[in-house]
């Protein structure tokens, strides 16, 4: 056996970048539980601060996740000035997204918010302006972005295995936020149209609108038609709990069904082309049938490749310039179109009329 001699400089080793410094803004969104739960597995991310004005809520999370008191601040600006994060993860109400992003932008800090981006198209355009002015990234985190089944369905369309795209049908939702036991701080704003934009329409309709916009490469539909129901007014007196949105494109149609009335939680998508279809089954399975298949096939979707398989690694890769997010499910350009559609859906439901979309400023 020969002797291996290592000469300095002859073997290159990849130096791992320093962890991305992130901070949490807001603790009233229940999805923050997912962040705290995933954080120990992420060596590429370092939590440097948490801002929330409610000391009782802060104390609860500090105790549950063994977080040191030094991480906590009551104000966002004081936290940024003290901790200098590279990005903030926003777990406020949707109604607070715009002002939170504008504050972060003044400090040159990038942002990832939980879906949807904001409450209205006007807010979305304001967010886009401030992001461009201060050269920050603004990303939107959807659980369905990290579903291998959705990427596999997208690839079926892109690789022309289904023929021309004709119809998309998307179902999202669960039994209802109260029924599944979300926390009071979450339920309070989720059922307030001033803080959530709507009920099930915004909470779950955004998933389907986002996926459809991605499949359509950012193209806005010609028209938006929405019907909202209040099937449980005794529980949700101020917002819809069931929504159906129809998007008409020149050669295709999308039907988005969002509800707090499903008998169980679901996030699935049906994509129909001229010569085949693909139906997603949960995060990682598919049902497919192509033109010459005698019967439907069941398959597992190929796993997503890092760092495109989870929100934190993806955020780190974007901020390091390793990924260009444009056109992706979480990208700002995609989500301006999403907000145009959701805003129009809300107006359609209010007036009982189909809304024809106008071209949005670039």
Domain ranges of the chain: 20-143, 144-303+330-356
Residue 8 pLDDT greater than 70, yes or no: no
Of 82, 85, 75, nearest to 111 by C-alpha is 85
Range 197-222 average pLDDT: 98
Range 34-45 average pLDDT: 95
Which pLDDT score, from 0 to 100, does residue 147 have? Answer: 98
Residue 1 pLDDT greater than 90, yes or no: no
Range 316-322 average pLDDT: 97
Which pLDDT score, from 0 to 100, does residue 14 have? Answer: 64
Which pLDDT score, from 0 to 100, does residue 34 have? Answer: 96
Which pLDDT score, from 0 to 100, does residue 15 have? Answer: 75
Residue 167 exposure: Cα atoms within 13 Å on the Cβ side? 10
Range 355-361 average pLDDT: 93
> Which superfamily does CATH assign the domain made up of 144-303+330-356 to?
Dihydrodipicolinate Reductase; domain 2 (3.30.360.10)
What is the average pLDDT value for the chain, to the nearest integer? 95
Residue 343 exposure: Cα atoms within 13 Å on the Cβ side? 20
Please give the DSSP secondary-structure letter assigned to residue 358.
P
Range 201-210 average pLDDT: 98
Which pLDDT score, from 0 to 100, does residue 345 have? Answer: 98
Residue 254 pLDDT greater than 80, yes or no: yes
Residue 209 pLDDT greater than 50, yes or no: yes
> Mind listing the pLDDT tens digit for each residue in 164-178?
999 999 999 999 999
Residue 7 pLDDT greater than 50, yes or no: no
User: Pick the residue with more confidence: 280 or 6?
Assistant: 280
CATH says 20-143 is which class?
alpha beta
CA–CA gap between residue 354 and residue 362 (Å, rounded): 24
Q: What angle do CA 201, 204, 209 make, to 5 degrees?
A: 80
Note the pTM of the prediction, 2 decimals.
Answer: 0.94
Within the chain, residue ranges assigned H as helices are 32-38, 55-64, 76-83, 97-106, 121-134, 148-158, 177-180, 184-190, 193-196, 200-203, 205-215, 311-319, 332-351
User: Percentage of the chain with pLDDT > 70?
Assistant: 96
Which pLDDT score, from 0 to 100, does residue 9 have? Answer: 45
């Amino acid at each position: 056996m020969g002797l291996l001699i290592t000469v300095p400089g002859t073997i290159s080793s990849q130096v791992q970048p320093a962890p991305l410094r992130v901070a949490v803004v807001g603790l009233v969104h229940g999805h923050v539980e997912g962040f705290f739960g995933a954080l120990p597995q992420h060596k590429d991310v370092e939590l440097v601060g948490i801002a929330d004005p409610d000391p009782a809520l802060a104390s609860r999370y500090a105790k549950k996740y063994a977080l040191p008191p030094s991480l906590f601040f009551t104000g966002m600006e004081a936290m940024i000035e003290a901790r200098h994060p590279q990005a903030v993860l926003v777990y406020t109400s949707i109604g607070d997204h715009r002002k939170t992003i504008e504050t972060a932008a003044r400090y040159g800090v990038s942002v990832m918010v939980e879906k949807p981006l904001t409450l209205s198209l006007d807010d979305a355009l304001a967010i886009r302006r401030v992001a461009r002015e201060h050269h920050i990234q603004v990303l939107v985190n959807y659980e369905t972005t990290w579903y291998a089944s959705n990427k596999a369905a997208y690839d079926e369309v892109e690789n022309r295995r289904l023929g021309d795209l004709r119809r998309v049908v998307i179902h999202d939702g669960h039994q209802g936020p109260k029924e599944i036991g979300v926390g009071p701080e979450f339920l309070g704003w989720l059922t307030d149209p001033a803080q959530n934009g709507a009920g099930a329409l915004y909470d779950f309709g955004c998933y389907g609108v986002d996926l459809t916009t991605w499949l359509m490469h950012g193209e806005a539909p010609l028209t938006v038609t929405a019907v909202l129901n209040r099937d449980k007014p005794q529980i949700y007196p101020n917002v819809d709990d069931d929504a159906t949105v129809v998007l008409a494109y020149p050669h295709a149609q999308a039907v988005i069904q969002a509800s707090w009335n499903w008998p169980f939680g679901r996030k699935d998508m049906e994509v129909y082309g001229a010569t085949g279809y693909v139906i997603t089954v949960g995060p990682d399975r598919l049902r497919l049938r192509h033109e010459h298949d005698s019967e439907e096939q069941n398959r597992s979707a190929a796993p997503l490749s890092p760092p495109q398989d989870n929100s934190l690694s993806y955020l780190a890769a974007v901020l390091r310039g390793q990924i260009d997010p444009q056109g992706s499910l979480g990208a700002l350009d995609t989500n301006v179109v999403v907000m145009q559609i959701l805003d129009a859906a809300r107006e359609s439901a209010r007036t009982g009329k189909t809304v024809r979309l106008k071209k949005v400023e670039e």
